[in-house]
Amino acid sequence: MLKPENDPMGHAITDYYETGSAGNLFVYSDICETDEIPVPYMFRTFKEMPTLEQKALNLCHGEVLDVGAAAGAHSLWLQNNGINTSAIDISRLSVNIMKKRGIKNVHCCNINTLSADKKYDTLLLLMNGTGLAGTLDNLSMFLKQCSSLLKSGGQILIDSSDLIYLFDSLDEIPKDYYYGEVEYQIVYKDIISKSFNWLFVDYNRLKLTAETNGMKCSRIMDSKNFHYLARIIL
């Protein structure tokens, strides 16, 4: 679990919830220019969500596990629409805010070590859910762990982007590692996260990995910058 001193996003979410404003949340990576996450975006309503997210939420059914729920935007909408939803995040600060926002079932835990004693109909992994796998080599194990949490016939709704669009020619694509493997670090005020690996995976590799592990994978919809939503079922 994240310690508060290494949890810039959790602090940003807390500041915004408690005061209505927050400073800049910067994301540094080894592959592109510094990005900035608008903290109010973490509290977006359904109408403010991209069409891809709206589609994913509308496909949720049964008992849902919202993985990496952050401020709980998706969980809150699902809960308010009568769907039995549990939210998890590795940030204790974020979990605390989700509870204050009225989300009933919230737990501070890591999807990679979550016990399979409890099963779900839907696992929801948005905002580049494949990132939680960390690396391409770990994707197979990650999908196996996710599938172990599903009831028979359950589904994983997950999104990612093919970072091929960042390269002007095939000659620019790295040869010694997968181009979708990114190293991130997040900064908020004077709070700096530890560096962590994050995986963006092209759809064909996601589909191949899922099918190699006995799952079915389908592409639900596409968005800009080669962003896509996929559904994986047992």
144-148 own/partner pairs: CB under 8 Å, 24+ apart: 144/213, 145/111, 145/112, 145/114, 146/111, 146/232, 147/213, 147/215, 147/232, 147/234, 148/116
> For residue 209, what pLDDT is reported?
98
Residue 88 lies in a domain: yes
Is it the case that residue 225 has pLDDT exceeding 90? no
Residue 73 lies in a domain: yes
> For residue 66, what pLDDT is reported?
98
> For residue 125, what pLDDT is reported?
98
Residue environment code for 110-143, b if the CB has 16+ CB neighbours within 10 A, otherwise e = ebeebeeeeebbbbbbbebbbbbbbbbebbeebb
Full-model pTM:
0.96
Domain count, the chain: 1
Q: Helix axis angle, 139-148 relative to 203-212, nearest 10°?
A: 60
Residue 213 lies in a domain: yes
Is it the case that residue 137 has pLDDT exceeding 90? yes
- Give me the mean pLDDT over the 80-86 stretch: 98
Going by pLDDT thresholds of 50, 70 and 90, the confidence category of residue 168 is confident
- Give me the mean pLDDT over the 35-58 stretch: 97
Distance between CA atoms of 43 and 16, rounded to whole angstroms?
Answer: 9
Residue 18 lies in a domain: no
Is it the case that residue 205 has pLDDT exceeding 90? yes
Distance between CA atoms of 17 and 8, rounded to whole angstroms?
Answer: 14
Residue 3 lies in a domain: no
| Residue 111 lies in domain | 47-177+200-233
Going by pLDDT thresholds of 50, 70 and 90, the confidence category of residue 64 is very high
Going by pLDDT thresholds of 50, 70 and 90, the confidence category of residue 172 is confident
> For residue 171, what pLDDT is reported?
78
Residue environment code for 60-79, b if the CB has 16+ CB neighbours within 10 A, otherwise e = beebbbbbbbbbbbbbbbbb
pLDDT per position as a tens digit, 105-132: 999 999 999 999 999 999 999 999 999 9
Residue 7 lies in a domain: no
Residue 104 lies in a domain: yes
Q: Give just the sign of the alpha carbon dihedral 181, 227, 203, 88.
A: positive
Q: Helix axis angle, 8-19 relative to 92-100, nearest 10°?
A: 20
Is it the case that residue 222 has pLDDT exceeding 90? yes
Residue 188 lies in a domain: no
The residue with greater pLDDT, 167 or 53, is: 53
CATH number at residue 215: 3.40.50.150
pLDDT per position as a tens digit, 30-46: 888 899 999 999 999 99
